[in-house]
Amino acid sequence: MKRVVITGLGAITPLGNNVAEFWKNIISGKSGAGPITKFDASLFKTRFAHEVKDFEPEKYFERKEVRKYDLFTQYAVAASDEAIADSGLDFANISDAERAEVGVIWASGNGGISTFEEQLQEFNSGDGTPRFNPFFIPKMIVDIAAGVISIRHKLFGPNYATVSACASSNTAIINAFDTIRMGKADVMIAGGSEAAITKSSIGGFGASQALSKNNEHPQNASRPFDANRDGFVAGEGAGALVLEELEHAKARGAKIYAEIVGGGMAADAYHLTGTPADGHGASLGMQKALKDAGITFDKIGSVNAHATSTPQGDLSELNAIRSVFGTHPIKVTATKSMTGHLLGAAGAIESIISALSVKTGIVPATINLENPDPNIPEGLDIVSGKSIQTEQEYVMNNTFGFGGHTATTIFRKFQD
């Protein structure tokens, strides 16, 4: 099997519209939460979210092009443009044969949900005559972001979307990793984007009792592992990674952030939205990732937990981590406390955090953890308060989705 490294990163997030700003705010323990501005949420039970701020699509598209793309695709293009530029790859000066060895796998859980919502509202407000925007379908469908990225850079390699709810972008990264190490491409752009701060999304998640209702203190609402947590806080944005076959990267003198060495996927096979108390599917995914990486659990320095801040989900995952790591002390962090839950894009931005964590040795803190849940399994070292500096060779990243999907990735500090 070929080795796969990360040579480029890009981010559009509630904590910054580039990787440098995003990482600075993550290690500083900053929250990206605030009142919803994308629509009038005054009548909703949840009136806050982690929104992207100051995003200007005209920086990435000609003005006439902006209306062709849903916001989730605009975020995808912006993040992937940064990652490609960061990698140093020059797609403008490569042959068609080389272009055939570069692909895109892009994820989203909701795709163009705002486009879908807007079009139905327009239709229902009319006289019943079926009039729809000609861009309706290509703006809405989940695979379109992958297609737009490949069209933009004329990339002829494998190109598709993954959808596994909130595990979607981790699934995309695992698939891209497998594609390269099996020799089916030299370079893959992988990640995910989400733009689901909409009436239907916030209303739907709220109806399922999944969202926090701490409207008075939005920056403190996302509080994984805290006894007073009351649900997740929705987020939006995108994360992009350039994955590259090691020898291909070395041949062009690329900088390398980290190596991706393992990916594991499994299923809870339990409930539409809930997770089993023992976290069986989560533990299976982690075990498969360890086996894929060819390492034992004691090699992992820290785990970036899925930890959305739901009462049942947090404990289920911690029980799964304890079952995998036994009595071995393991550092656990939950960066959704700062970013909110980016749904299908969560795995991508958390993979960026994991890659930078293993490169720098910095483990970001879980913020808002003031009163730890008394049911947290003993022996877990939950990093809270402030980020810490530590020696770690491997970092694990967990993501789970409605439907019981689990996806775990493992990153290694690069050693040639």
Range 90-95 average pLDDT: 95
Q: Which fold has domain 4-251?
A: Peroxisomal Thiolase; Chain A, domain 1 (3.40.47)
Taking domain 263-412, whether its CATH number is 1.10.760.10 is answered by no
Nearest one of 241, 240, 158 to 193, comparing CA atoms: 240
Give me the numbers of helices (H) and strands (E) for the chain, helices first please: 14, 15
Distance between CA atoms of 409 and 190, rounded to whole angstroms?
13
pLDDT value at position 379?
A: 86
Q: How far apart, in whole angstroms, are the C-alpha atoms of residue 249 and residue 187?
A: 9
Cα 110 versus chain centre, distance: 13
pLDDT, mean of residues 264-270: 96
pLDDT at 121: 86
Determine the pLDDT at residue 240: 99
Q: pLDDT category, 86, cuts 50, 70, 90?
A: very high
User: Does the pLDDT value for residue 173 go beyond 90?
Assistant: yes
Q: Are 131 and 75 in contact (CB under 8 A)?
A: no
3-state class (DSSP) for residue 262: strand
Return d(Cα 321, Cα 224) in angstroms, integer.
Answer: 15
Neighbours of 410 (CB within 10 A): 26
Q: How confident is the model at residue 245 (pLDDT cuts 50, 70, 90)?
A: very high
Residue 7 has pLDDT above 80, yes or no: yes
The yes-or-no answer on residue 146 being catalytic is: no
Comma-separated ranges of CATH 3.40.47.10 domains in the chain = 4-251, 263-412
pLDDT at residue 126 above 80? Answer: no
CB 395 within 8 A of CB 410: yes
pLDDT at site 122: 83
Q: Give the DSSP H or E segment for 202.
A: helix 199-207
Q: Cα separation of 107 and 301, whole Å?
A: 27
pLDDT, residue 84, reads 98
Q: Name the nearest CA neighbour of 117 among 147, 149, 72.
A: 72
- pLDDT tens for residues 283-306? 999 999 999 999 999 999 999 999
pLDDT of 123 > 90? The answer is no
- In this structure, the number of other CB atoms found within 10 A of the CB of residue 91 comes to 15
What is the pLDDT, as a whole number, of residue 416? Answer: 85
By percentage, how much of the chain surpasses pLDDT 70?
100
Residue range 166-174: mean pLDDT, rounded? 98
Q: What is the pTM for the complete model shown?
A: 0.97
Which residue in 27, 166, 195, 324 is the catalytic one? Answer: 166
**How high is the mean pLDDT of the chain?**
96
Residues 171-175, mean pLDDT to the nearest whole number: 98
Determine which of 84-88, 264-268, 275-279, 350-354 has the lowest per-residue pLDDT on average. Answer: 275-279
Tokens encoding 190: 């992988």
Question: Would the pLDDT of 341 be above 90?
Answer: yes
Amino acid identity at 296: T
Confidence bin at 133 (pLDDT 50/70/90): confident
How confident is the model at residue 128, as a pLDDT?
A: 78
The confidence score (pLDDT) of residue 124 equals 82
What are the distances in angstroms from CA 188 to CA 67, 91, 286?
Answer: 27, 13, 23
pLDDT in tens, 8-44: 999 999 999 999 999 999 999 999 999 999 999 999 9
pLDDT band at 125 (very low <50, low <70, confident <90, very high): confident
- Residues 264-268: what's their mean pLDDT? 97
Determine what percent of the chain is predicted with pLDDT higher than 90.
93
